[in-house]
A and B are shown apart, each in its own frame.
Chain A
């Protein structure tokens, strides 16, 4: 049972375009959603996160949009750069001590 789903599985955009990565979840008790970025040969690193009380979180070129009613969120990467090429994982937690549930990831390629 996959509680956190990501789409697309892979995405290719041109440099300067906006990449949109989607995430949806099933468990309505999830209330915190971090996104992790992973480069080949490295472990994932926290990129940006949002709690369910917000509908938008922005950090530079990275923005999370959150729709609690539809249980969906998306990560927008504006002005994409080749250095953004990585795998992006959406994760979810219930806030109190509990494990993170990760999606399967979206592999992003930004072509120069």
Chain B
């Protein structure tokens, strides 16, 4: 078994602020993902990484940067937080070529004032 840890659990920011979310996994999975979840809109892929130092853009990458510092960690930066933005950011991981079986963390809930 394994676990995905996301920090922080709650994040409150100001408009225009740069905010960083962190994710750690101990599954020893190659691939990691960042999703944004908005109410009623499902999960939208922001970035994914198939190995250390690899980055691939998803459907929603504009306004975000990501970094895969090592196999077990994947961070996401909101480059300029938008006023009244509220969403949950979910990190996930999977074995290489098993993107159908993703393991998710509990999420970071972002509120921008």
Contacts of B92 in A (CB 8 A): 43
Q: When A99-B48, A102-B43, A103-B42 are in contact, do A45 and B99 touch as well, CB less than 8 Å?
A: no
Q: Is B40 an interface residue (CB 8 A)?
A: yes
Q: Which of A96-112 contact B (CB under 8 A)?
A: 96-100, 102-105
Complex Cα spacing A105 to B39, Å: 10
Q: Is B96 an interface residue (CB 8 A)?
A: yes
Are the C-beta atoms of A99 and B90 separated by less than 8 Å? Answer: no
Interface of chain A: mostly helix, strand, loop or mixed: loop
Q: When A42-B106, A43-B105, A102-B43 are in contact, do A97 and B100 touch as well, CB less than 8 Å?
A: no
Q: When A43-B4, A43-B92 are in contact, do A9 and B105 touch as well, CB less than 8 Å?
A: no
Are the C-beta atoms of A104 and B105 separated by less than 8 Å? Answer: no
Complex Cα spacing A104 to B38, Å: 9
Size of the chain A interface, CB-CB below 8 angstroms: 23
Say which size band chain B's interface belongs to. Answer: 20 to 34
Complex Cα spacing A104 to B107, Å: 17
Are the C-beta atoms of A97 and B97 separated by less than 8 Å? Answer: yes
Are the C-beta atoms of B102 and A93 separated by less than 8 Å? Answer: no
Complex Cα spacing A56 to B45, Å: 28
Q: When A43-B106, A89-B42 are in contact, do A32 and B90 touch as well, CB less than 8 Å?
A: no
By a beta-carbon cutoff of 8 Å, the part of chain A in contact with chain B is 4, 9, 32, 34, 41-46, 49, 89, 91, 93, 96-100, 102-105
By a beta-carbon cutoff of 8 Å, the part of chain B in contact with chain A is 4, 33, 40-45, 48, 50, 58, 90-92, 96-97, 99-107
